[in-house]
Amino acid sequence: MFTVLHLFRTERLPYLRFVALTITCCCCILLWGKIALSQQPIHLSMLTSALDAAQGQSLVAAFEAQNPDIKIDVVEGPNASNLIEDLYTSSFLLGDSPYDLVMMDVVWLPKFAAAGWLLDLTDRIPANDLADFMTADLEGGRYDGRLYRLPVRSDAQLLYYRKDWLQQAGIQPPDTFDQLMAASKLLQSAGISKWGYVWQGRQFEGLAAVFVDILAGFGGFWVNPTDREVGLDHPEAIAALQFLRDTVTSGISPPGVTNYQHEDARRLFQGGEVAFMHNWPYAYPLSNAEDSPIKGKFDIKLMVHQPGLTSAACLGGWGIGITKTTAHPDAALRVAQFYASPDAQRLSILENGYLPTRRSLYADPAILTKYPYFSGMMSVIDNAVLRPPIAQYAQASDILQRYLSAAITDRMSPEAALQAAARETRALLAQE
């Protein structure tokens, strides 16, 4: 580089300058011609877990077949969803985001929206287009009353139970916490089931989600999103944690449950060792597969509750949003609308078995033929509760997880643990 400049400056070789100029001009003309003549498709980039990338290949193909002017570049990330969240977070925080589209879990939305990283979709999508979506799923895409995400996949936690064993023991599926405890003890003492009830006790987001279900069944709350009141040290919350603790101490749950994630619980249930399981719907098709020992022997229902109260399932699910800084907001919107469309959802559901976010699909013949249990799932989603839609959710959840874990592993009493959790959460939320 330096020598080239040097040659230019000293007029020792004047013809070289001419040659260089000619070459540069030719290159420019060629490049300009190439750009002008070929219509390059717009490339839109999106980060998903490697699993989602593999499962979403047919969706990308279908979209690109219909829209030859747009190419979707799916970047494969790690499979753990909190790592995907961190990758999105650092790329937005840094600026110069490589991603135009954001495939996001329901709990990331408040953070991404509050940080101002997402394009406001409220005025870009006519209200009519939203009518078919399940209310809870749509609500999960809103922050401060503005819409930032179109839901493409729904999810809500359920109680799985062995209907054959309950029949054998002559009891009804439980509706309350006491009934769940009693049924578990009965099945265990009768030697029908090794364990009563299995859930996710590892210190991770899954534990917070389990607790949200239990908390709702006891009539408590975590953080009130409107006045930001923290309810973790209220009697209902302490009773809810006491229930989880009791399942371990009374031997209803296996001692290892305090280290379980979703797959540990599913393996135990599918292996026929436990009567009740708290889990997401993904376990249904797996447990009901041809090679599953419990095929046709189990059913699902909403999580139990205290007498006189109702239960509510913790809402999960994924949706698609648009990066605020994208150079192609209109193209990105077309992709987002495609992913949320009935056709795309049907295609993905038939391949992968996730729950739809549209009412119409819960009555879709093709889907119901393949997954008959979906018919009952619509009411579950309708009654689902969001985890606190606050911007600092990740931080609040990590605080809660730490103290829940401390209590269920008997390092702290439920009361002391939740008091500490409430104190830290209040300090966190009082930051304004």
Partner 1 sequence: MTNSSSQASTHALSTRRIGLAIVILLILIFSLAPILWQLLTSFKTTADIAAIPNVYFPKQLTIEHYTEIFRRQPFLRYMFNSGFVAITSTLLCLLIGTPAAYALARLKLPGEQIVLAATLIVTLFPYILLFLGLLELVRTFGLANHYLALIVPYTAMNVPLTILVMRSFFQQLPRDLEDSAKVDGYSTVQMLLQILMPLTLPALVTTGILTFIAAWNEFLFALTFITRESMKTIPVAVAQLSGTAVFEIPYGALAAATVIGTLPLVLLLLIFQQRIVQGLTAGAVKG
Partner 2 sequence: MSKTLRDQERQTGWWLLAPAVILLLLVYAYPIGRSFWLSLFTQNLGTELQPVFTGLNNYGRMAIDGRFWQSIGNTTLFTAISVLLELLLGLGTALVLNQSFRGRGAVRTIALLPWALPTALIATTWTWIFNDQFGVWNDLLMRAGLIKTGINWLGDPHWALWTVIAADVWKTTPFIAILLLAGLQAIPNDLYEAHTLDGASPWQNFYRITLPLLMPQILIATLFRFAQAFGIFDLIQVMTGGGPGGATETVSIYIYATIMRYLDFGYGAALVVVTFLILSLAVAIAAFWLSKLRPAGDWR
Contact positions vs partner 2 (CB under 8 A)? 83, 85-86, 89-90, 93, 111, 114-116, 202-204, 259, 391-392, 394-395, 398-399, 401-403, 405, 420, 423-424, 427-429, 431-432
- DSSP state for residue 104 in the 8-state scheme: E
Residue 96 near partner 1 by CB under 8 A: yes
Q: Which is nearer to partner 2, 40 or 431 (CB)?
A: 431
Residue 49 near partner 1 by CB under 8 A: yes
Residue 33 near partner 1 by CB under 8 A: no
Phi first, then psi: what are they for 166, rounded to 5°?
-65, -40
Amino acid at site 297: K
Residue 50 near partner 1 by CB under 8 A: yes
Instruction: Quickly list H helices, 76-176.
Output: 81-94, 109-114, 127-130, 135-139, 163-169
Q: Which is nearer to partner 2, 346 or 426 (CB)?
A: 426
**227 binding partner (options partner 2, partner 1, none; Cβ < 5 to 8 Å by kind):** none
Beta bridge partners of 75: 47
Is the distance from CB of 362 to CB of 377 less than 8 angstroms? yes
Q: How far is the CB of 327 from partner 2 (least distance, A)?
A: 23
Near partner 1 by CB under 8 A: residue from 16, 19, 30, 54? 54
Q: How far is the CB of 388 from partner 2 (least distance, A)?
A: 13
| Closest by CA position to 62, among listed 398, 371, 392, 342 | 342
| H/E element, 213 | helix 205-217
Q: Which is nearer to partner 1, 53 or 192 (CB)?
A: 53
Q: Look at the alpha carbons of 247, 253, 259, 260 in this order and tell me if their dihedral is positive or negative.
A: negative
**Separation in Å, CA 421 to CA 24, 229, 372, 391, 418:** 66, 13, 41, 18, 5
**97 binding partner (options partner 2, partner 1, none; Cβ < 5 to 8 Å by kind):** partner 1
Near partner 1 by CB under 8 A: residue from 42, 46, 59, 77? 77
Q: Which is nearer to partner 2, 113 or 377 (CB)?
A: 113
Residue 1 near partner 1 by CB under 8 A: no
Angle separating helix axes 393-408 and 414-429, nearest 10 degrees: 170
Is the distance from CB of 184 to CB of 275 less than 8 angstroms? yes
77/81 Cα distance (integer angstroms): 9
Q: How far is the CB of 96 from partner 1 (least distance, A)?
A: 4
401/396 Cα distance (integer angstroms): 9
Near partner 1 by CB under 8 A: residue from 19, 51, 131, 363? 51
Contact footprint for partner 1 (CB under 8 A): 49-51, 53-54, 75-79, 83, 87, 90-91, 93-98, 263
